Amino acid sequence: MTLRTSSAIQSASTRSRFAQRRGSFSRRDPWRPWTVAWLGACALAFGNAIIRQTLYEAHVGDLRAHQISTATLLGIFAVYVWMLHRRWPIETNQAALAVGAIWAMLTLAFEFGFGHWVVGQSWTELLEAYNVADGRVWVLVPIWTMIAPAIMRALQQPRRP
């Protein structure tokens, strides 16, 4: 009987630890689901770039396509972050800003790392996408990526009378 009780206690303890690990995808801890969700944002950005290159870049030119693509991606990210926040709400504004900062750093690291070492672009070429004086508005993407979780959190907060 003691062996059976001991097994039951161990099993309950194991279930409790599993529930705690599963709970990390809960409302209290946004880090794991939001960090994993950044990969979804990358997929959306890649899809947006493919659409730009295959559907309209040849018709509107490089600069205009860049601007359209940037605006489209900002809208797509807004919807994506809205849905993520509905699924995994971030409890504080500070945590939302921290998640956004991590997303922005991951985005910039990926963009420059992939662009330079995989695609073979020079650092100068990569930085050209951020030249607002030339009409390049890509700088809005990391900025929006950084503030979007806090904005969507604020928009989804219940209104107080």
The structural domains of the chain, with segments of one domain joined by +, span 27-156
Q: Please answer whether residues 48 and 111 qualify as being in contact, where contact means their C-beta atoms are separated by less than 8 angstroms.
A: no
Confidence at residue 48, expressed as pLDDT on a 0 to 100 scale: 98
Model-level pTM?
0.80
Confidence at residue 3, expressed as pLDDT on a 0 to 100 scale: 52
Series of mean pLDDT values for 10-residue runs along the chain (161 residues): 51 46 55 94 97 98 98 98 96 96 97 95 95 96 98 91 70
Confidence at residue 108, expressed as pLDDT on a 0 to 100 scale: 97
CA-nearest of 114, 118, 113, 108 to 138 is 108
Confidence at residue 130, expressed as pLDDT on a 0 to 100 scale: 95
Single-letter code of the amino acid located at 60: V
Confidence at residue 160, expressed as pLDDT on a 0 to 100 scale: 74
The SS3 of residue 139 is: coil
